[in-house]
Amino acid sequence: MSIIEAILIAIVEGLTEFLPISSTAHMVITSSIMKLADDPFTKYYEICIQFGAIISVLVLYYKKFINFKSPTFYLKLIVAVIPSLFFGYLLNDFIDSKLESPLFIAIVMILGGIVLLFVDKWFNKPTIQDEKEINYTLALKIGLFQCLSILFPGLSRSAATIIGGMSQKIAKDVAAEFSFFLAVPTMAAATLYKTLTYIKDEGFFSSEQLIVLLVGNAVAFIVALLAIKFFIDFVKKNGFRIFGLYRIVLGSIVLLLIAFKIIS
């Protein structure tokens, strides 16, 4: 993987990680179009650069994460992340197989897009307007919704958790922010697991690979920082319909590319 290829993948990751349009789907599609080598390091890189994206959450919401006076915030995240850790470990091989299938991801993209067309109408009477009102039971439910993105790569972790939160009468901007918070332990755990597995199977990284990883994470961090700021303001004013339309259009384009054997 060249530096240019790494930067392009990182830009895609940063732009899409916290939007309900599936960063996984976009990276798989981008990799297929770019004809990137299907080697262990490329697969690892596409997971690892999520670490750069989650650092942007820590920077933007640092007051939440350095408030050690009350452990409630951290405990809610622990409760919410447990289902994903369990199912992610249990279904690791299944997930990897589906990540290699643009057809599966395209279909999930379209179906998820159809859902996003209507969520603003379905869940338009929120009663929870602040993250502090989310209790442990609600946190667990959101964590279970997050598992849907594990079972169906291309669904979007962000979409699953935000829609899950909205279905529990949480305001959409609050649900989005909690989704960002939950991304931190979820993706940190995924990155750590994949790193240990990669080192065990392939050995330590070369100096060239370390440079690629550093550059990729830096780019993903900067782009994600901008994407999060845009997303919250946009959703408050416009809702999720545009993201649903985007998913349907992109998924349909991917199906056409598969049909014409441009990607496989």
From 95, 101, 173, 111, select the one nearest 165 (Cα to Cα).
173
pTM to 2 decimal places: 0.89
The structure tokens 């640092």 sit at 62
Sign of CA dihedral 186, 187, 191, 197: positive
Q: How far is CA 140 from CA 106, 108, 179, in A?
A: 29, 24, 12
Could you say which residues of the chain have pLDDT below 50?
none
The structure tokens 């869940």 sit at 123
Per-residue pLDDT reduced to its tens digit, 199-258:
999 999 999 999 999 999 999 999 999 999 899 889 988 999 999 999 999 999 999 988
> 189-199 burial string, b = 16+ CB within 10 Å, else e?
ebbeebbeebe
pLDDT at residue 168 in the model: 95
The structure tokens 């996003």 sit at 116
Residues 178, 57 contacting (CB under 8 angstroms): no
Per-residue pLDDT reduced to its tens digit, 150-166:
888 889 899 999 999 99
CB atoms within 10 A of CB 200: 8
Residue 142 in tokens = 């959101």
pLDDT at residue 4 in the model: 93
One-letter amino acid identity for 62? Y
pLDDT at residue 154 in the model: 85
